[in-house]
């Protein structure tokens, strides 16, 4: 009986796979077509807006969860109705910079809005002086023990690293 | 299907620099994949919804854990399979480890009129079976 069950399970599994594979082209063919219509969504304002709104919702969710605060409690603290907080958490309603500032301050958190060159990554990380020294990036002291590190595009990082390694090996530039 | 060739392949519209927490891969078996085939159809037919689905993908790629149910939800009756959400589009996936943390996309679904619960449940069941196959064949 158990063997029969195992066989019928296997058969069902095979049917699922056969259906999944049926009438589908090799993926490399599909990828070629997708590559031809590849879109840089980070350059699409609507995508960027939706992503920022979603990431803010994620951050607020995370902080509330870590602190064990319910959305209703936050709403009470802020003197707004619960729907206002839910709109941020559910990515609905009109999200303004002012409402982001309000919720950030109510949580006693910090937020950074920066506009960077395409390919330049900005990361606000906990203080890692060693990392900054090793990779040769510039760093500036920021608020509440956080460190803002401006990371140049990858090729520049590679140049800096090879230069740093060269120095460590005793190779000095002409200058 | 005892010796399936399983591959985890990057999705062209997902930029590698997004993948700071998870690498996003679609499942291919024996060189074909229903996931990428459907994603291409979605992009053509529902570009706005596809863009919204990509927002969810980017959130998963950049966050170690996704909270709330707006972007990611566990599938009912199948805890190991999750879905990334667009407006009506859904992308089924599971978390795995393959050297790094990866997300393996196993199926798609589009909610809409004329599509019943049964079809959705079948899509979830298929995603779960594909996960089992992946585990068995690759150990991820």
Band (pLDDT 50/70/90 cuts) for residue A22 is confident
End-to-end CA, chain A:
83
Residue of A30, A45, A67, A120 to mutate for B, most B C-beta atoms under 10 A: A30
Residues in A touching B32 (Cβ below 8 Å): 21, 24-27
Question: Which residues in chain A are classed under CATH 1.10.260.40?
Answer: 41-113
Is residue B69 classed exposed, middle or buried when 0-12, 13-18 and 19+ CB atoms within 10 A define those classes? exposed
Q: Is the pTM of this model over 0.90?
A: no
Subunit contact B40:A46, Cβ cutoff 8 A: no
B85 strand-pairing partners: B90
Q: What is the pLDDT of residues A119-164, one digit of tens each?
A: 766 555 554 444 444 455 554 444 444 555 555 555 555 555 565 5
DSSP A26: B
Residues in A closer than 8 angstroms to B9, CB to CB, are 27, 31
Spatial distance between the Cα atoms of A109 and A23, rounded to a whole number of angstroms: 52
Taking the CA of residue B80 and the nearest CA in chain A, the distance in Å comes to: 17
Sequence spans of domains, chain B = 6-138
pLDDT of residue B12: 94
pLDDT class for A81, splitting at 50, 70, 90?
A: very high
Phi, psi at A139, each rounded to 5°: -140, 155
**Which class would CATH give A116-175?**
alpha beta
Q: Is B126 close to A19, i.e. CB distance below 8 A?
A: yes
Where do the CATH 3.30.70 domains begin and end in chain A?
A: 116-175
CATH number for B6-138: choose from 3.30.70.260, 3.30.2310.20, 3.40.50.1220, 3.40.50.970: 3.30.2310.20
Report, at the CATH architecture level, how domain A41-113 is classified: Orthogonal Bundle (1.10)
Report residue B133 as tokens.
Answer: 């196959």
pLDDT-above-90 percentage for chain A: 47
Residue A70 near residue A64, CB atoms below 8 Å: yes
> Residue B125 and residue A27: Cβ atoms within 8 Å?
no
- At A148 the pLDDT is 52
Of A12, A20, A58, the CB nearest to B67: A58
Q: How far apart are CA A92 and CA A59, in angstroms?
A: 15
pLDDT at residue A117 in the model: 82
- The tens digit of pLDDT for each residue in B41-81 reads 999 999 999 999 999 999 999 999 999 999 999 998 888 99
- State the Cα–Cα distance between residues A141 and A138, nearest whole angstrom: 10
Q: Is B91 exposed, middle or buried (0-12, 13-18, 19+ CB in 10 A)?
A: buried
ipTM for the complex shown: 0.92
* Identity of the residue in B13, B67, B133 whose CB atom sits nearest the CB atom of A61: B67
């Amino acid at each position: 009986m158990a063997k029969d069950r195992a066989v019928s399970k296997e058969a069902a599994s095979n049917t699922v796979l056969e259906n999944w594979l049926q009438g589908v082209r090799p993926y490399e063919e599909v990828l070629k077509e997708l590559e031809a219509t590849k879109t840089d969504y980070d350059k699409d304002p609507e995508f960027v807006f939706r992503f920022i709104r979603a990431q803010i919702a994620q951050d607020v969710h995370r902080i509330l969860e870590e602190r064990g605060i319910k959305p209703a409690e936050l709403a009470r603290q802020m003197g707004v109705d619960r729907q206002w907080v839910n709109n941020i958490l559910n990515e609905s309603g009109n999200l303004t910079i002012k409402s982001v500032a309000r919720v950030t301050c109510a949580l006693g958190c910090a937020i950074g809005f920066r506009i960077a060159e395409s390919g330049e990554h900005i990361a606000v990380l906990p203080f890692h002086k060693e990392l900054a020294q090793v990779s040769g990036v510039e760093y500036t002291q920021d608020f509440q023990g956080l460190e803002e590190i401006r990371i140049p595009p990858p090729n520049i990082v590679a140049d800096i690293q090879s230069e740093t390694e060269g120095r460590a090996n005793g190779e000095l530039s002409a200058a | 299907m005892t010796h399936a060739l399983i591959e985890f392949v990057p999705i062209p519209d997902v930029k590698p620099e997004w993948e700071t927490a998870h690498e996003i891969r679609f499942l291919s078996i024996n060189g074909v994949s229903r996931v990428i085939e459907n994603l291409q159809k979605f992009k053509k037919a529902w570009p706005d919804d596809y863009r919204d689905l990509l927002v969810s993908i980017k959130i998963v790629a950049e966050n170690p854990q996704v909270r709330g149910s707006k972007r990611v939800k566990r599938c009912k009756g199948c805890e190991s399979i999750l879905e990334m959400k667009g407006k009506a589009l859904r992308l089924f996936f599971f978390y795995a480890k393959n050297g790094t943390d990866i997300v393996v996309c196993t199926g798609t679904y589009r909610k809409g009129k004329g599509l019943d619960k049964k079809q959705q449940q079948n899509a979830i069941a298929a995603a779960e079976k594909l996960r089992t196959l992946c585990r068995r064949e690759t150990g991820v």
